[in-house]
Chain A
Amino acid sequence: MIGHVLRLTRWEWFKLHRRRMPWILLIIGVAISQLIFWSTYAFVQSGGPANQSSISFDATDTAGETVEIEFTCADLRDMEGGEIPIDIDRFSQEEQQNIARGLQEFAERCESVNEDSNDIRQALLLPNSLTFAMASSLAFFGVILMMILAASTAGTEYGWGTLRTVLVKGVGRWQLLAVKTLVIGLASAGLSAAVLATVGVASVVATLTLEDGALVGAGEWSEFAIAFGKLIYVYLPYVALAVLMSVLTSSSGMGIAIGVGYYVIESIVVGILVNFDWFEGISNFVLGRVTSGWLELGDFSFGGGGVGEMPDPLPAAMVMLGYIVILGGLAFVLFQRKDVAGAKGG
């Protein structure tokens, strides 16, 4: 039995890796994660939030002239010996005190801005860069790509009519779907790992160009490993949804459209409903919310539906398990019972 399943798995992989689709998904995944990584890099190199946050006010000098004074957090950070880089003596004592008070308040604000700058900077360095890539790209785009992979792997057999050709060889239906699901899971993990590997390479390159080498090694590898495991678990209910829709409609196209459509529309609807009190109880059972709650890690907030208070990770994981069992179970029952027609072309 195990030998049979292993053999089917091997041959399912034989088919899958020769298709263009998983390679196209990999390219898209790499492109998105690299775009986000290098945009972050450019932002950090241009000064980050410290350059964006500024204070501006008018002060009147002793000659009665109005002077516009403007500072960014980066200016404050770069002040040498705490010396304000303006000719402060041109202002009256009273005005000097006003300026000092304004700058004091701004300096307090800048402390948290500088912390954010530091966090963003750390997101470029291993292994935080990998966790950040999961949060910023794979937790959203990755889910979509994996749904495409799942619906395509399960649904094209209907479109091409090859499901008939496989089943008449005596391959059991549940075994076939189980093997397909297993291969989709493995391919999802493989695709995610490959995307993260390219982020890792980018991270090393970026590290070499950053001024502050002390930040190399930001974060913990164990945190990254846990986050990766959590990410793969997040894929599972969505993979089950995409497979179910493909089996239900006997079409990969419909499986992708319904799966991805649900994912996107749900996050929009939840974003609106989260403002209503009555939604609070329901929100703990909405897929997008529970995956966000499950994935929330440290300084990074993962996934869609991240508005408002997230469900706790453990209850969220249980709800996700419920989705996996129900959606996956329905897919198996349908796959087992449905009559199989010829090619449908979709």
Chain B
Amino acid sequence: MNDLVIQTSALTKRYGHILAVDQLSLEVPRGRIFGLLGPNGSGKTTTIGMLLGLVRPTSGSFSLLGSGTSHAEALHRVGAIVEQPYFYPYLSGRRNLAYFQGISGRGSPKELDDLLEQVGLADRAGDRFQTYSLGMKQRLGLAYTLLGNPELLILDEPTNGMDPAGMAEVRDLIRSLGSADRTVLLSSHLLNEVEQICDSVAILSKGKVIAQGAVGDLLHPQEQVRLRTSDDAKAVEVLAALDWVEDVRIEGEALIVTAPHDRTSELSEALGRAGVYISEITPLQMSLEQYFLEVTGDVAGEIQ
């Protein structure tokens, strides 16, 4: 079994003089929750559109679920929502799902009931889609993507329009969906969403991948703690003398110490021996947002 469910090679899409996706090479490993992060207009949706056969690439190539599978065949094993969940407004949520289940030729009425229950729409399943709130539409979209128990889920901004409680619920659901058998490609412009849900991430800017890897790796393994002490000047003196402390500096009313998190108790012990008392210890890690700002600079403002 191929370990890559999505592989693109120099994938390019040009709309007239606008280069939407530029020589994109992307590798999504099987069984991971993979984030596609980028500001609006960075080429995320166009990339997904090309993967799903909605948009014709100008050049380049890609494979979906392994190179030995035809694209049409692969799509039967994919569940995807692009941009927004679009359904027939005059049909109920349940009938919409029944239609899409029907055209794919797989599944049972029980599957519909289970999915509607899973996404919390069982009570409103008989109502017309046009009466749904955006959050409910997103939930129905999630149920749609899960029809037929697909190997690969492609979710484009799945929490768009949801209230905070709904977002948390859906994020939990997406996390539970990623498993050894199933891969999730999550496209989002929400940094914290990607950070909370994804194992790996590719960062897009102006149609190009500017960074790709495990979320932990991208955040740099640089570990820091923030200390509040009874005597900062003396604490700096003591900690700087420890050879395993990489750096120590005063920032405002606290000390920022770069040192392995598993040796935090030794920091405390050394300061205690020197008569410096610690009132607060907080482990620090570089956020994806900080990383994003570092690698993209000028476009970071569009990311939330």
Q: Answer yes or no: A88 CB below 8 A from chain B CBs.
A: no
Tell me the complex Cα distance, A337–B53, Å: 10
Q: How many residues of B contact A (CB 8 A)?
A: 33
Whether A166 touches B87, Cβ cut-off 8 Å, given contacts A172-B72, A339-B56, is: no
Q: By the criterion CB–CB under 8 Å, are A18 and B102 in contact?
A: no
Q: By the criterion CB–CB under 8 Å, are B52 and A168 in contact?
A: yes
| Distance in Å: Cβ of A115 to nearest Cβ of chain B | 52
Tell me the complex Cα distance, A11–B102, Å: 7
Annotate A164-192 by CB proximity to B: 1 below 8 A, 0 otherwise. 11111111100000000000000000000
Q: By the criterion CB–CB under 8 Å, are A343 and B84 in contact?
A: yes
Q: By the criterion CB–CB under 8 Å, are B103 and A7 in contact?
A: yes
Annotate A145-181 by CB proximity to B: 1 below 8 A, 0 otherwise. 0000000000000001110111111111000000000
Q: By the criterion CB–CB under 8 Å, are A340 and B55 in contact?
A: yes
Neighbour of A165 across the interface among B73, B74, B144, CB < 8 A: B144
Q: By the criterion CB–CB under 8 Å, are A167 and B53 in contact?
A: yes
Residues in chain B near residue A164, CB distance under 8 A: 54, 82, 86
Residues in chain B near residue A19, CB distance under 8 A: 90
Q: Answer yes or no: A109 CB below 8 A from chain B CBs.
A: no
Whether A169 touches B54, Cβ cut-off 8 Å, given contacts A20-B90, A160-B88, A160-B89, is: no
Q: By the criterion CB–CB under 8 Å, are A165 and B85 in contact?
A: yes
Tell me the complex Cα distance, A204–B89, Å: 41
Q: Answer yes or no: A286 CB below 8 A from chain B CBs.
A: no
Which chain A residue shows the least CB distance to B92? A18
Q: By the criterion CB–CB under 8 Å, are B52 and A167 in contact?
A: yes
Q: By the criterion CB–CB under 8 Å, are A11 and B84 in contact?
A: no
Tell me the complex Cα distance, A161–B130, Å: 13
Tell me the complex Cα distance, A8–B103, Å: 6
Residues in chain A near residue B82, CB distance under 8 A: 164, 168, 342
| Distance in Å: Cβ of A160 to nearest Cβ of chain B | 6
Residues in chain A near residue B80, CB distance under 8 A: 168
Annotate B34-73 by CB proximity to A: 1 below 8 A, 0 otherwise. 0000000000000001001111100000000000000011
Neighbour of B86 across the interface among A15, A18, A160, A337, CB < 8 A: A160
Residues in chain A near residue B102, CB distance under 8 A: 7, 10-11, 14
Q: By the criterion CB–CB under 8 Å, are A169 and B75 in contact?
A: yes
Residues in chain A near residue B144, CB distance under 8 A: 165
Q: By the criterion CB–CB under 8 Å, are A18 and B90 in contact?
A: yes
Residues in chain B near residue A172, CB distance under 8 A: 72
Tell me the complex Cα distance, A162–B102, Å: 15
Q: By the criterion CB–CB under 8 Å, are A7 and B86 in contact?
A: no
Residues in chain B near residue A8, CB distance under 8 A: 103
| Distance in Å: Cβ of A25 to nearest Cβ of chain B | 15
Annotate A8-46 by CB proximity to B: 1 below 8 A, 0 otherwise. 101100110011100000000000000000000000000
Residues in chain A near residue B75, CB distance under 8 A: 168-170
Tell me the complex Cα distance, A160–B54, Å: 15
Q: Answer yes or no: B104 CB below 8 A from chain A CBs.
A: yes
Which chain B residue shows the least CB distance to A171? B103
Q: Answer yes or no: B105 CB below 8 A from chain A CBs.
A: yes
Whether A165 touches B54, Cβ cut-off 8 Å, given contacts A7-B102, A11-B99, A170-B72, is: no
Q: Answer yes or no: B288 CB below 8 A from chain A CBs.
A: no
Which chain B residue shows the least CB distance to A165? B86
Q: Answer yes or no: B277 CB below 8 A from chain A CBs.
A: no
Tell me the complex Cα distance, A342–B104, Å: 21
| Distance in Å: Cβ of A95 to nearest Cβ of chain B | 76
Q: By the criterion CB–CB under 8 Å, are B100 and A165 in contact?
A: yes
Tell me the complex Cα distance, A170–B104, Å: 8
Name A53-107 residues within 8 Å CB distance of B: none
Tell me the complex Cα distance, A11–B104, Å: 10
Neighbour of B78 across the interface among A18, A161, A168, CB < 8 A: A168
Q: By the criterion CB–CB under 8 Å, are A167 and B54 in contact?
A: yes
Residues in chain A near residue B81, CB distance under 8 A: 165
| Distance in Å: Cβ of B185 to nearest Cβ of chain A | 13
Q: By the criterion CB–CB under 8 Å, are B86 and A340 in contact?
A: no
Q: By the criterion CB–CB under 8 Å, are B87 and A168 in contact?
A: no
Q: Answer yes or no: B91 CB below 8 A from chain A CBs.
A: yes
Residues in chain B near residue A15, CB distance under 8 A: 88, 91, 99
5 pairs from A and B in contact (CB 8 Å cutoff):
A7-B103, A10-B102, A14-B99, A15-B91, A172-B72
| 5 A-B pairs closest in CB distance | A161-B86, A170-B75, A170-B76, A11-B102, A340-B54
Which A residues have a C-beta under 8 Å from some C-beta of B?
4, 7-8, 10-11, 14-15, 18-20, 160-162, 164-172, 337, 339-340, 342-343
Q: A165-B86, A165-B144 are in contact. List 10 more A-B contacts (CB 8 A).
A: A7-B102, A7-B103, A14-B102, A18-B95, A165-B100, A167-B53, A170-B72, A339-B49, A343-B84, A343-B86
